[in-house]
Structure 1
Amino acid sequence: MKQTTTNTAAITIFGAKGDLTRRKLIPALYNLFIGNHLPAICTIICVDFMTVDENEFKNDLLLGVNEFSRSGKADPPTWSAFANKIQYIQGDFLNEETFINLKAKLDVFDVKNKQRSTRMFYFAVSPKFIEVIAEGLYTHQIANQLTKDRIVVEKPFGTDLQSAQKLNRYLRKRFEEKQIYRIDHYLGKETVQNILAFRFANYVFEPLWNRNYIDHVQINVCEQVSVGKRGGYYDGSGALRDMIQNHLLQLLCVIAMDSPPKYEAEAIRNAKVNVLKQVRIYKESQVFTNVVRAQYKEGSINNIPQHAYRKEEHVAKNSTTETYVAARLFIDNERWKNVPFYLRTGKCMPKQTSMIVLQFKDSPNRIFKDDIVPNRLVISIQPDLEISLLFESKVPGLHMKLKPVEMDFTYNQSYTEAIPEAYEALLLDVLNGDATLFMRADQVETAWKVVMPIVDAWKKNPSKQLLYYKAGTSGPKAADDLLKPFADQWFVV
């Protein structure tokens, strides 16, 4: 992992008592700390409206590290050194006194260290507080240095195109674009980052990465979990907004982008935006022939009963919100003309998997009668970090008989280095001012333009072609039918 290039850093987390902070952010920062990736001079200021004793707060964070950190339970002396960097501010985001107190702590930190620190402000909060916090930082001139101060905004970034554009305008009136880091943790995953290296550093693959050789592409992000306690949020969002608009479209960009002129943030982000601009926009009638939506009903996962989505907490009894989406998209450019990209995501699926599959066209020289399985490149993001190539091989023996075999690259077998969590890489990039793995304003808005015709068609026809699947199954048959004639089934079950 790269080292931080800043001397001193002040990291502020808004929403410090939330699940994201406890499960992801603090464990990530702790791992950066024990790996000597954080600046030696560093403070972590945690802000939340809840009144809590600071020692109790730190003990709760320690329990989170012990439970969720990839490095296991924290070493007591090391944790003590890390915890000494943490401060807690009780404050309401709607009260300007909160920002006055925050500014005072940041100024004291800078005076003590005789230099202006790099400041990161992480918005681990409900979307309704983004503008409120941004206004507080702006009004009190807390994040007013272009080269030193950065804000990190979690998804969802807007609920539709109009709200995303509005939020972008709001933030850019108060901060420069280069200060705004719109985070999608999928882009920080090691296997996703490796796709660029795999494509552009290995000439054996890149010449084949186009419509002349690739038959179709499947991008699967399947979740075994239900909506759980997120029903209040999820019922107003659904799988299309929650997963397709950001995670899966970002994976599509990485797979489909042309080679940037150099490995540099803006060049890579330009290449990704160009892909999104070329995704075919559907008319209303085309939505229902190219997109399948469904909702899970009562079933079981690993023999554990699972009730229907409509019986989840805070979900409307007649909800038409989708928990499953399968979509067929096309990229109308020279590289990908008429190659279908199949995107699928769902909750209460049989397995937790994230996988990208590129299936190659049949060989033009099919001289063997049992040459029936096309070459297939599989990039597994989770649970296994690996890349495998399926190809035909002769079975040992006296007769010419073919059998498909796999050539595998796995991280665990190839490397001894520990694999960092996505948030570790992303937080360090923010501290270093590297926006390569973060979404630019135009990228967010263009992604919304891709999905808005689907959003609008479903809103206009709330029950039309809303299908159902049992929890613990792989989705409705219509999703398999969507693949034809290119494939009979999804490669992830």
Structure 2
Amino acid sequence: MRTDLAALFIIFGGSGDLAQRKLYPALFNLYQKGYLKEHFAVIGTARRPWSDEHYHEIIMTSLAGFEADETVKKTFASHFYYQSHDVTDAQHYETLKQLAAKLDDQYQLQQNRIYYMAMSPRFFGTIASHLGSEALLTADGFNRLIIEKPFGRDYDSAKILNDELTQTFEEDQIYRIDHYLGKEMIQNIMALRFGNGLLGAVWNKQFIDNVQITLAESVGVEDRAGYYETSGALRDMMQNHIMQVIGMLAMEMPVSFSAEDVQREKTRLFKSIQPYTPAEIKTNFVRAQYGETPVEGQTQPGYRQETNVAPASQTETFVAGKVLIDNERWCGVPFYVRTGKRLARKETQINIVFKKTGVNIFAPDKNDQSAVAPDVLTIFVEPEQGFALTLNGKKVGQGFELVPGQLAYQYNQQMLADSPEAYERLILEALNGDGTNFTHWRELAASWQFVDAIRKVWDADQTALPTYPIGSMGPKEATELVQSTGAEWIFDPTQSK
């Protein structure tokens, strides 16, 4: 991969939390590793009337956790420039264009530009329109647009936004970022699937009983209740992160490892997801809220008791569901998904549960499967990273009792320290024009249509939401969902197995 890449980053929302927590540290990592050297510059824009000097102080603060030499940090920060900017004012784009042209000459940026929208989504269309009308896009270098989620709040709003963006940018210039696609073990899914003949041969309905995806958070909504009340777990996690993980797990092998071929296969997969009737949605999807719970002698507030949450809120903090795929590979294999806040432990884990053998020769009744645990391939996404294959073996001692054991591989701390953080990885891929790990509009449209059907049924149903205790793994309805097909959740830190 090339180093010393030349580009101007224009960050809309340069004073915001995302820029300070994620973007500036990611750019600094790229700088330390030599991908960015002399030929880069950053313009941060926001309404606040900051000076370049104050902006540099903000950059230095965002790098406080790095052990790098202060001189290196200051040299890095010197590449940053600030413009107070009203994104609705066309005149401000003229000022921005002049500064961009100046920096292009000063740093020899070859007219390469990355426009990063790190602010409220309601301004995305406005910004893109002005970038086109005020002629900020360059003729000779590349022009790439990185967009944060949420990309719309349903299919209709996403379609309107996409139409606005494509008035200025081509689809291959738009990089819709989902930081889950930048995680080491999510990217490892393709390596495991398509780099191993052993797994490739059994990755289908003949051998797999079910697939389980868990994105668990131990924290509550904290200071995000204002946003969360308009979103909920379905929009916040299901429509993007979980659907993308399903795509990586279930798509067919692409012709090549390229953005075009990978996105084509994921789009085909999303179109194969079985649509549900309203009655089927009520059967196959569960929603709930965390409730008031006594913890160590003190009552912890439930979701409805959180600041800025409506007392009668119907916003879900937990979602579990069964997704079915209507194609030859996966027909009849349920993909169980769940995500929620205030659960037992923060963990993202994927479990591929294989079918049991038809005969248990070690039991008096050879058809008795109760003593045989399923073989399970577990992908640990975070906080641990690695994978494990759980197989049955003989218990030490007399007899032939079967017990499960793991063949496990965990990345050590040194490996993880050397691994790029998700934003660092994805920004570098955008710099190199690699859209493989970004979301294509066709994928997004298909995922919104699936989620919208669920949302419509839930919005029409004002039945009181189930609650679950803080520190649990969700409501009993989520357990009953998988038990209805004879399965059980593999990951459950509340149970000793």
**TM-score (normalizing by structure 1):** 0.94
Residue 107, structure 1, aligned to residue 106, structure 2: no
Residue type of the partner of 1:56? H
Residue 423, structure 1, aligned to residue 419, structure 2: no
Alignment of 1:193-342 (within 5 A): 193-299=187-293, 306-342=300-336
The residue aligned with 1:473 is: 472
Q: Distance in 2 between matches of 1:385 and 1:402?
A: 28
User: Which deviates further from its counterpart, 143-152 or 447-456?
Assistant: 143-152
The residue aligned with 2:347 is: 353
Q: Against the structure 1 CA distance between its residues 269 and 298, is the aligned structure 2 distance closer, same or farther, given a 3 Å change threshold?
A: same
Q: Distance in 1 between matches of 2:16 and 2:416?
A: 34
Q: Distance in 2 between matches of 1:405 and 1:115?
A: 55
Alignment of 1:153-172 (within 5 A): 153-172=147-166
The residue aligned with 1:382 is: 382
Residue type of the partner of 1:472? G
| 1:308-337 C-alpha deviation (Å, 9 max, x unpaired) | 212222222211010100011100100000
| 1:74-132 C-alpha deviation (Å, 9 max, x unpaired) | 42011011111111111111222321121111111223355633110110001111112
Residue type of the partner of 2:285? V
Check conservation: 1:220, 1:492, Cα contact below 8 A: no
Alignment of 1:58-77 (within 5 A): 58-67=56-65, 72-77=66-71
Residue 279 of structure 1, CA deviation:
0.6
Residue 365 of structure 1, CA deviation:
3.6
Q: Distance in 2 between matches of 1:304 and 1:94?
A: 48
Q: Distance in 1 between matches of 2:317 and 2:416?
A: 38
Q: Against the structure 1 CA distance between its residues 302 and 324, is the aligned structure 2 distance closer, same or farther, given a 3 Å change threshold?
A: farther
Q: Distance in 2 between matches of 1:189 and 1:278?
A: 25
Q: Distance in 2 between matches of 1:281 and 1:196?
A: 26
Check conservation: 1:91, 1:97, Cα contact below 8 A: no
Q: Against the structure 1 CA distance between its residues 158 and 210, is the aligned structure 2 distance closer, same or farther, given a 3 Å change threshold?
A: same
User: Which deviates further from its counterpart, 178-187 or 111-120?
Assistant: 111-120
Residue 414 of structure 1, CA deviation:
9.2
The residue aligned with 2:110 is: 116
The residue aligned with 1:449 is: 449
Q: Distance in 2 between matches of 1:302 and 1:12?
A: 48
Residue 436, structure 1, aligned to residue 430, structure 2: no
SS in 1 for 2:379: strand
Q: Distance in 2 between matches of 1:409 and 1:368?
A: 29
User: Which deviates further from its counterpart, 44-53 or 363-372?
Assistant: 363-372
Residue 405, structure 1, aligned to residue 399, structure 2: no
Residue 396 of structure 1, CA deviation:
3.4
| 1:367-408 C-alpha deviation (Å, 9 max, x unpaired) | 123851110000011010010000012233354332211111
Q: Against the structure 1 CA distance between its residues 302 and 140, is the aligned structure 2 distance closer, same or farther, given a 3 Å change threshold?
A: farther
SS in 2 for 1:466: coil
Check conservation: 1:158, 1:164, Cα contact below 8 A: yes
Q: Against the structure 1 CA distance between its residues 342 and 415, is the aligned structure 2 distance closer, same or farther, given a 3 Å change threshold?
A: same
SS in 2 for 1:236: helix
1:38 is matched with which residue: 36, 39, 46? Answer: 36
Gaps of 5+ in 2: 364-369
Residue 415 of structure 1, CA deviation:
4.3
Check conservation: 2:271, 2:446, Cα contact below 8 A: yes
Residue 160 of structure 1, CA deviation:
0.4
Q: Distance in 2 between matches of 1:147 and 1:277?
A: 35
Residue 413 of structure 1, CA deviation:
7.3
Check conservation: 1:377, 1:387, Cα contact below 8 A: yes
| 1:393-438 C-alpha deviation (Å, 9 max, x unpaired) | 2233354332211111112179487111000110001111110001
Would you say how many aligned residue pairs link Structure 1 and Structure 2?
486
Q: Against the structure 1 CA distance between its residues 148 and 260, is the aligned structure 2 distance closer, same or farther, given a 3 Å change threshold?
A: same
Q: Distance in 1 between matches of 2:58 and 2:152?
A: 31
Q: Against the structure 1 CA distance between its residues 333 and 371, is the aligned structure 2 distance closer, same or farther, given a 3 Å change threshold?
A: same
Q: Distance in 1 between matches of 2:169 and 2:106?
A: 27
Check conservation: 1:131, 1:171, Cα contact below 8 A: yes
Check conservation: 2:239, 2:447, Cα contact below 8 A: yes
Residue type of the partner of 1:95? D
Alignment of 1:75-154 (within 5 A): 75-113=69-107, 116-145=110-139, 148-154=142-148
| 1:192-238 C-alpha deviation (Å, 9 max, x unpaired) | 11110111011110110000000000001011111111111110110
SS in 1 for 2:64: helix
Q: Against the structure 1 CA distance between its residues 147 and 483, is the aligned structure 2 distance closer, same or farther, given a 3 Å change threshold?
A: farther
Q: Distance in 2 between matches of 1:209 and 1:166?
A: 38
Check conservation: 1:121, 1:152, Cα contact below 8 A: yes
Check conservation: 1:301, 1:350, Cα contact below 8 A: no
Residue 486 of structure 1, CA deviation:
3.4
| 1:149-207 C-alpha deviation (Å, 9 max, x unpaired) | 00111101000011111111111111111111111000000111111011101111011
Check conservation: 2:110, 2:140, Cα contact below 8 A: no
The residue aligned with 2:366 is: none
Q: Distance in 2 between matches of 1:417 and 1:310?
A: 39
